[in-house]
Structure 1
Amino acid sequence: MTLRSFALRLLGVLAFAGILPGQSAASELCPALDTASPGARQAITDHLCFYTARPGEPAHQAVSPEELQADLPWQPANGHDLVFSHTDSVYWVQLRVRNTGDHQGLWYLKLNYPLLDEVTFWQEHEHPGAHGRPTEAATPLVTGDLYPFATRGIDYRYFLLPVTLDASESRIITIRVQSSGALNVPLALMTPGEVIAESNHLTLIHGLFYGALLILAMFNLLLFLSSGTRYYFYNAFYIGSMAMFLFAMGGFANQYFWPESTDLANSSIPLTLALCALAMALFGRSFLEVRTKTISESVLRGLAWSTAGFLALTFLLPYSKSILLNTVMALTVIVSLSVIATARWRQGYQPAAWYLAAWIVTVVGALAYAMAAFGYLGDYLAREVMMQAAIGGQVILLNYALVQRWRLLNQKLLDVEHQARTELELKVHERTAQLRNTMRELEQANQKLATLSVKDALTGLHNRRHMDSILPEMCLEARRTRQPMTLALVDADHFKRINDTWGHDFGDQCLKSIADCLNQQVRRPRDVAIRFGGEEFALLLPGTESDGALQLCQNILDTIRSSEIRTPDGDITQLTVSAGIAEFNAEEQPENLFRRADKALYQSKDAGRDTVTLAQPELSEEGVRTSSRN
């Protein structure tokens, strides 16, 4: 022991015993954590104290707790995560633990952040009745990225410190953390069962994530080998480099790939980040089909060469500088690609929309992940999962964009082939294949046209074509299930006078108003509102008897009558409609049902309009009863 260490330890003993005034022990600020209490372990940050030792301070040079000043001004964490941005300081963390249980117990102090250069753990016993002053420190656990992975003692990507406490035993755990980058010190005190359960959950998540990335990368590589299309290779390159970057950030690469190489443990993160930036630039340039001799092409070519240069500088610059430069470079590539993708989308290149959506998803996750990695956000584990979700979403969107691009190129190829066949009069079997292709496209177009043709362009309601198609089906269903089905015809009163007085534009406005009323009143999912003529509307009401239809139509009449519409000359006018209702008879045909409803409608017109008439099952004109206006 050096003379300086002995003097510091002697001063610490005197200050703890009260011989020297002015000391502020960490035990006064942070109470001991009861290891037997799950709630206390969950709130570990309420029991942590820390000290930031800046360069030049004695605590910065100290290499053990005995060398710290006795009056060191510890700060309580107060329930907050220990997160520190890029700094050259040394951080000391202290935690007092006590086993209040009746039996010996084993716990693990877990530091859930793998990217730390130097981490040293001490466990010190406390003397009962001696004001908690620690005894001689036990052999420390010295580990971190500057040391081989085996120094961690436990084969795990995070740092684990076994803590074994007898009944009523107390200890002080001191941690010294120093790193050239940002610092995250997310601590958790867990039982072995809790550590295994959490590890199993994370193993499943990471296995699914990295397995999916590997499959997609291999799939794109096979597509490249079979088609020779370069952007498949660049996509596989990007997926692979992104997987390696996240693998390194998560501590897996240090654990499995180079556990004995401390140089690779520190340089792998900026190195894989530069590879990601290079892959992004190459893939974006190829996928977006940027034309040569344009500003966009010059920018992407410059970014590709720049990222290659930054990749080489990673082997020469220290970690703290290379990670910042490569992060800025990657963000520059992402922003540039987003701008160019937006421009290509506006130029009509549709796959660029999915490409842009993929980058938006990535930016959200990357920002949260970067802020956690650089010490501006806590809960690094949650940010890691968020980043994996964002990258997973991006990869899916990018591959979907590749599918859309393939479809676009395939369509262009088919168009060129079609033109060449027409101009060069190819062989008979080629023209036959062309004809089949044309017939298939025509059938698809007809189907699409049929879909569009069932809607009325003015009101948005279904039109007469849809009514002619669905009315027989509803009648067959009503006959088969023996459920009621009612048809109601609604007609605007004096509509010709409206058109003649205020013009057809105002008439169209009135028709829209009637259609809106029908949509509001017809709420059941299977009920259908139809405009089948100029001012004529129909309601198909399966599962509704005539009395229910009568009440519905009366509500429609009341609503339309009470509404006011402003005319082009500024006056207020009111609309009225008449309605005729016929309930389906299982013995009749759809045409007869429509005819009876139409007769009932004319009966309403003859009765003075603004009236609902219900047709009786008989087909005679006498078999109707009229509901006068209310």
Structure 2
Amino acid sequence: MTSVLRLIAILSLLLVPPLALPDEGSVPSGCPTLEATDPAARASLMQYVCYYSAPPDAPGHMATDPEQLPEDLEWMPANGRDLVFSHTKSVYWVHLHVRNSGTERAGWYLKVNYPLLDEVTFWQTGDDTTETLVTGDQRPFASRAVDYRYFMLPVTLDGGETRSLTIRIHSNGALNVPLSFETAAEVIARSNHLTLTHGLFYGALLVFAVFNLLLFFSSGTGYYFYNAFYLAALGLFLFAMGGFANQYFWPDNASFANTSIPLSLSLCALAMILFGRSFLEVGNGTISETVLKGQAWFCIGFLALTLILPYNKTILLNTVLAMTVISSLFIIAAVRWKQGYQPATWYLLAWLIMLVGGLIYALAAFGYLTDFLAREALMQSAVGGQVILLNYAMVQRWRLLNQKLLDVEHSARTELEFKVHERTAQLRNTMRELEKANRKLSTMSLNDALTGLHNRRHLNNIFPELCAEARRTSQPLTLALVDADHFKNINDTWGHGFGDTCLQFIAEMLNRHVKRPRDVAIRFGGEEFALLLPGTDAAGALNVCAALLEDLANTPLLSPDGTEVRMTLSAGIASLNPGETQNQLFERADEALYRAKSEGRNRAQLSEAIEVE
């Protein structure tokens, strides 16, 4: 055991970076201004950020607007460090000056790359105007400016314009404020990368869970079911911690969005105990069984307490419980390994990885380590390694049992071999069914569930192909971006249910007017649609959009209270120029859409021609 403990200590020293300690240097005379057009400056954003910590007795704690802050407030420079604080009752104010020294209007996004913040309020101040955005995971997900798991503030600056950005942040638990200032292209690129990474991770967890569940149904072996339970609970916990559950599962239930984190953590700890007890074959009446039974009852009790106690207490209690369970299972596995139980070898290594990864992830989540995104990736790597080792351990256990069965009498061995062949055939059939299901899921993932149109993933897949084809054949390719006018008023007046009906109605109109076999209608945002029209020039696309806008505007829809609702659309149209990239084409269509909106809506605008070098 001494050598094992030493190994844990060595791994911890290798994996754990320096603790997150905010700089306590001298008070700056003012925050430096970030040049938004400079990629290097954006990359070193934290060199331009100042912050102020307002404990409960400080003047800035009760302030709800930057104008209420004292003029002699002592702002602290971030000096390049992420703003990470352990459990605190303070309110934190973050300040940033940004300037667009270019000559053209451009847009960026200020992003807080941490989803578990109770209250987040953004202010943009410039040209004697102030824009405010109030959000946080204590509010419905729709309060965010962008449909994204992190908090994002769109910042649009005219040429030569300077703005002051202020954030007020308060949270009952640990407080992580990893900031970035990115262009739309950078946001999309990073989002695509993370979507792929998280998709592979959660997809693998789901496949392993379903696979173990099918093994349980086919073999009746209990630890397959407990492993599937553990993988599902662990996936739900990480999904909630990453902000995905709040975004996709319960966006309108802010209270449960927080409660789901300690709740799923308790379920995860219970599943660990059930799987460990079954897999390690812990004997009845042993100390190990007594410990695991006691911890299982603690998990059940903590599940009940999670629904009663506040989040900041339950997350701490359940984290301690989970780390205790992991440590206990590690020790019990070491005992079983010493007793000669061979499958415990891989099980022990799996929990060693989980112990180190879970400890680092917990330290980051509670504000003791910086760079939560890196810790999240590290935790996913640890979970991936553990899942592979656990499943390999189950394979080794199966081989051990099979070897023992081969030593029985010939008749019993013959019967066993028959059953093994039968189960192998069942597994092959199961794998074939899984492959069919995966292909079906892949097809479904390219369509929007509400409207039946293709979704943004399909747009990302087909758009580069159509652009390459248009360049190769010299045939026109036109992109039209279509956006519903004043759609928020519809949701606010008649509710999101009628809003969904309106989106479906718009989708029907798009299908009615986009008739050619190769034309593609896509829903890639809330009320945002795109039309890809290969072989159609800008004039032809303008005719299609004009007919679409006229048809929709002249076709009323009855609201739940019987009111006739006439919706309108705005459209921006751009055709691919020689040498132009797909991003440039998209930006020109988006600019045309913006002009259509600014010039009164219910109209289609052609993009202005540009010269591409």
Relative to the length of structure 1, the TM-score reads 0.61
- Aligned partner of 2:136 among 130, 137, 144: 144
Find the aligned partners of 1:417 and 1:80 in 2 and give their Cα distance: 69
% identical equivalent positions:
66
Structure 2 residue 297 is the aligned partner of structure 1 residue 305: yes
**1:83 maps to what in 2?**
84
1:136 CA displacement: 5.0
1:319 CA displacement: 0.4
- Aligned partner of 2:341 among 344, 349, 354: 349
Structure 2 residue 319 is the aligned partner of structure 1 residue 319: no
**1:564 maps to what in 2?**
none
Following superposition of structure 1 onto structure 2, how do residues 386-535 of structure 1 map, counting pairs within 5 Å?
386-418=378-410
Structure 2 residue 246 is the aligned partner of structure 1 residue 245: no
8 Å Cα contact 2:28/2:76 also seen in 1: no
8 Å Cα contact 1:83/1:375 also seen in 2: yes
Find the aligned partners of 1:286 and 1:418 in 2 and give their Cα distance: 29
Find the aligned partners of 2:283 and 2:331 in 1 and give their Cα distance: 15
Secondary structure of the residue aligned to 1:59 is coil
Provide, for residues 472-498 of structure 1, a one-character-per-residue CA deviation record: whole Å limited to 9, x for no partner. xxxxxxxxxxxxxxxxxxxxxxxxxxx
Secondary structure of the residue aligned to 2:378 is helix
**1:60 maps to what in 2?**
61
Structure 2 residue 374 is the aligned partner of structure 1 residue 382: yes
Which amino acid in 2 is paired with 1:289?
Answer: E
- Aligned partner of 1:359 among 346, 351, 354: 351
Corresponding pairs, count: 394
**1:218 maps to what in 2?**
210
**1:507 maps to what in 2?**
none
8 Å Cα contact 1:117/1:179 also seen in 2: yes
1:416 CA displacement: 3.0
Find the aligned partners of 1:245 and 1:420 in 2 and give their Cα distance: 44
**1:290 maps to what in 2?**
282
Secondary structure of the residue aligned to 2:263 is helix
Secondary structure of the residue aligned to 1:411 is helix
1:419 CA displacement: 9.1
Find the aligned partners of 2:166 and 2:309 in 1 and give their Cα distance: 32
Provide, for residues 2-26 of structure 1, a one-character-per-residue CA deviation record: whole Å limited to 9, x for no partner. xxxxxxxxxxxxxxxxxxxxxxx98
Which amino acid in 1 is paired with 2:373?
Answer: L
**1:262 maps to what in 2?**
254
Provide, for residues 169-218 of structure 1, a one-character-per-residue CA deviation record: whole Å limited to 9, x for no partner. 10100000000110110000000000000000001101111111000000
1:417 CA displacement: 4.0
* Structure of larger gyration radius: 1
Which amino acid in 2 is paired with 1:123?
Answer: Q
Find the aligned partners of 2:34 and 2:82 in 1 and give their Cα distance: 16
Cα distance change, pair 431–360 in 1 and its aligned pair in 2 (3 A): closer
1:379 CA displacement: 1.1
Find the aligned partners of 1:55 and 1:431 in 2 and give their Cα distance: 70
Cα distance change, pair 95–419 in 1 and its aligned pair in 2 (3 A): same
Find the aligned partners of 2:29 and 2:149 in 1 and give their Cα distance: 34
Secondary structure of the residue aligned to 1:28 is coil
Provide, for residues 437-488 of structure 1, a one-character-per-residue CA deviation record: whole Å limited to 9, x for no partner. xxxxxxxxxxxxxxxxxxxxxxxxxxxxxxxxxxxxxxxxxxxxxxxxxxxx
Cα distance change, pair 68–431 in 1 and its aligned pair in 2 (3 A): closer
**1:177 maps to what in 2?**
169
8 Å Cα contact 1:116/1:144 also seen in 2: yes
Secondary structure of the residue aligned to 1:223 is helix
1:40 CA displacement: 0.4
8 Å Cα contact 2:89/2:172 also seen in 1: yes
8 Å Cα contact 2:28/2:77 also seen in 1: no
Find the aligned partners of 1:330 and 1:200 in 2 and give their Cα distance: 32
8 Å Cα contact 2:115/2:149 also seen in 1: yes
Find the aligned partners of 1:376 and 1:432 in 2 and give their Cα distance: 54
1:366 CA displacement: 1.5
Secondary structure of the residue aligned to 2:46 is helix
Which amino acid in 2 is paired with 1:119?
Answer: V
Secondary structure of the residue aligned to 1:415 is coil
Following superposition of structure 1 onto structure 2, how do residues 169-208 of structure 1 map, counting pairs within 5 Å?
169-208=161-200
Find the aligned partners of 2:201 and 2:75 in 1 and give their Cα distance: 41
1:432 CA displacement: 13
Find the aligned partners of 2:27 and 2:104 in 1 and give their Cα distance: 27
**1:50 maps to what in 2?**
51
**1:275 maps to what in 2?**
267
1:312 CA displacement: 1.1
Secondary structure of the residue aligned to 1:60 is coil
Provide, for residues 119-154 of structure 1, a one-character-per-residue CA deviation record: whole Å limited to 9, x for no partner. 00000016xxxxxxxx4532x111111100000021
Cα distance change, pair 174–283 in 1 and its aligned pair in 2 (3 A): same
Cα distance change, pair 103–28 in 1 and its aligned pair in 2 (3 A): farther
Provide, for residues 52-78 of structure 1, a one-character-per-residue CA deviation record: whole Å limited to 9, x for no partner. 000122211001101111111110001
Following superposition of structure 1 onto structure 2, how do residues 571-582 of structure 1 map, counting pairs within 5 Å?
none
**1:373 maps to what in 2?**
365
Structure 2 unmatched runs, 5+: 1-25, 419-613
**1:74 maps to what in 2?**
75
**1:623 maps to what in 2?**
none
8 Å Cα contact 2:87/2:174 also seen in 1: yes
8 Å Cα contact 1:107/1:189 also seen in 2: yes
Following superposition of structure 1 onto structure 2, how do residues 330-345 of structure 1 map, counting pairs within 5 Å?
330-345=322-337
Find the aligned partners of 2:205 and 2:240 in 1 and give their Cα distance: 15
Provide, for residues 371-428 of structure 1, a one-character-per-residue CA deviation record: whole Å limited to 9, x for no partner. 111111111111111111110110010000111111111222222345968xxxxxxx
**1:157 maps to what in 2?**
149
8 Å Cα contact 1:351/1:404 also seen in 2: yes
Find the aligned partners of 1:391 and 1:378 in 2 and give their Cα distance: 20
8 Å Cα contact 1:125/1:170 also seen in 2: yes
Structure 1 unmatched runs, 5+: 1-24, 127-134, 422-428, 434-630
Structure 2 residue 32 is the aligned partner of structure 1 residue 31: yes
8 Å Cα contact 1:27/1:96 also seen in 2: no
Cα distance change, pair 207–84 in 1 and its aligned pair in 2 (3 A): same
Provide, for residues 92-130 of structure 1, a one-character-per-residue CA deviation record: whole Å limited to 9, x for no partner. 00001011112111000011000000100000016xxxx
Mean Cα displacement is larger for which, 42-51 or 55-64? Answer: 55-64
1:29 CA displacement: 3.5
* RMSD of equivalent CA atoms: 2.0
Relative to the length of structure 2, the TM-score reads 0.63
8 Å Cα contact 2:145/2:154 also seen in 1: no
8 Å Cα contact 1:29/1:75 also seen in 2: no
Provide, for residues 29-66 of structure 1, a one-character-per-residue CA deviation record: whole Å limited to 9, x for no partner. 42000001000000100000001000122211001101
